[in-house]
Every structure is written in structure tokens, then in C-alpha cells.
Amino acid sequence: MTYLAKLGELTLKGSNLQEFENLLKHNTAACLNGLGCKISLMAGRLYIDCDESAAEKVEFTLNHLLGITGWAKATVCEKTIEAINQAVYDNALLQAKKGCKTFKIDARRADKGFPLTSYQICCESAGRVEELMKVDVHNPDCTIYVEVRERVFVYTDSEIGCRGLPVGSSSKGLLLLSGGLDSPVAGYRMLRRGMKIECCYFHSYPYTSDEAKQKVVTLAQKLAYYGITTYLNIIPFTEVQMKIKEKAP
């Protein structure tokens, strides 16, 4: 099966665009290491080809991957209008079984060597789908996307991505992590701007409970979903605090 992810603000970069794209590809490969996935990147799209057994991990990764605006599981077909029509019909049939009554086809012909225009692809593909649903270009129950590139991709259900920049594309930062809301949100926003972060937590046992420490560990684990490799440094602070209490006027 094939997954297609759309790049976001990365595409606005200039001469260093390839550095950002390579980093995004590297981060994706790090998350999917050992699963036998084939990862490629071309013309503003990230492609992941994998076995069905890896689908759950791939989808989890795409839901937490910084640097993409959205993703979808796509049907890949031959670059002929007959194959495209069949793939569109198969996708429409699945949507009709889910209760969709109206549809729209959104075609994009990135490969200008393909003989039909985007509009002609829409018209050709819609013919068969009208057997299942009615056309509604303004407020459809489902939209079927067709992208004619080096391969042809057909998909319907598109998920929203995390956006932002790939982790590691900016500087490094240290996050003072506590059990509250502000610090993990700050860490997430740092990650979205491409920073690599390390977390730091000062633990004052027995004045601070082990439950509080475990909460911080859990928060750091959740940040690691986005940060690829995020370290948590737990610093014993009780003795230092006691010294401060003794010496402070």
C-alpha cells in the first residue's frame, strides 16, 4: 500500500529546499526503521510504500510528523484513463457504502505529458461514479482526488498533518519541563519550528512525589512522538534546595 503526504511551508524555501526535504525524509525513515518501508520524495510530496502489516505504525508516524500539512492512503494505478476511472470508481464505491450521497472529483495533472487535462480527467472519471452518487461540486459528501505525477494516485480520505518544519532544521533548545500545561505546549511549539529539544526536570523527593515525576516522564514521552529523539534529564534537587534554605538570609 502507498501513503502520500503533502509538504507545507517547506516548499517556500529557496536554494536550501533540498536540505529541508532530506531532513524530512530522514526523520520519516528514523520513525519507520526496521519496517521495510520505501520512502521517496518528489515535487512537494512524500511517498511511503509499505506492507499492510506496517500500516498502523505508518499512520501513527504521519499523524505526528512535523513538516507535512496532510496525508492520505492512496490507490496507485497505471497512467491510463481506463485505470484512473476504475480506481476512482473503487474509491467512490467505498464512500457510497459509508453513506455518502454526493461527490466531487478534484484532479491535478502535474505530468503535462498526460494526454488529458485536469478538467477532462474529472469529466471522464465522474461518468461511472454517477451510477453511485450525484455530483455536487459546492458541498459534496466526499471528494475524490486524482494526482497524475510520475505515478497516478487516487485517494479520498485525507488527514490533517502537524504542519511546521522538520525537527532538526533549526537550532537546539532546552525545555524546563514540569507537570503543568505551559511547558509541554512550549516544547511542542519549539518542535514545530524545527528545534531539537532536551527536557530538564528538577525532582525534589520527598517534597515532590514520584507521581509528579511519572507525570513529567509521560509528558516527555508524548513530546518524543513529535521530536523523533527527545531526552529527559531528571535532576535530584532536594539537597541543593536544603542548602539554599540553610544559607539564604
Tens of pLDDT along 220-246? 999 999 988 789 999 998 988 888 888
Give the count of beta carbons closer than 10 Å to the beta carbon of residue 121.
23
Tens of pLDDT along 118-169? 999 999 999 889 999 999 999 999 999 999 998 999 999 889 999 999 999 9
Q: Could you tell me what percent of the chain has a pLDDT over 90?
A: 80
Distance CA(54)–CA(37), nearest Å, equals 8
Per the prediction, the chain carries an average pLDDT of: 93
Q: pTM for the complete prediction? A: 0.87
CATH numbers and ranges of domains, the chain:
2-160 (3.30.2130.30), 172-247 (3.40.50.620)
**118-129 vs 81-97: helix crossing angle, rounded to 10:** 50
Across 1-126, where does the E strand assignment appear?
A: 2-7, 38-42, 45-49, 68-77, 102-109
Q: Which of 228, 227, 222, 219 is nearest to 200 (CA)?
A: 219
Set of cell numbers at residue 36: 521495510
Q: What is the pLDDT of residue 246?
A: 84
> What phi and psi, each to the nearest 5 degrees, are found at residue 169?
-85, -10
Residues 6+ apart with CB under 8 A from 3: 47, 48, 50, 58, 59, 62, 71, 72, 73, 74
Q: What is the pLDDT of residue 180?
A: 86
Q: What is the pLDDT of residue 244?
A: 86
Query: In this structure, are residues 6 and 44 in contact, taking their beta carbons and an 8 Å threshold?
Result: yes
Tens of pLDDT along 82-110? 999 999 999 999 999 999 999 999 999 99
Distance CA(90)–CA(67), nearest Å, equals 30
Judged against a pLDDT cut of 80, whether residue 249 lies above it is answered with no
Tens of pLDDT along 24-45? 999 999 999 999 999 999 888 9
Q: What is the pLDDT of residue 228?
A: 82
Which one is predicted more confidently, 12 or 25? 25
Give the count of beta carbons closer than 10 Å to the beta carbon of residue 153.
22
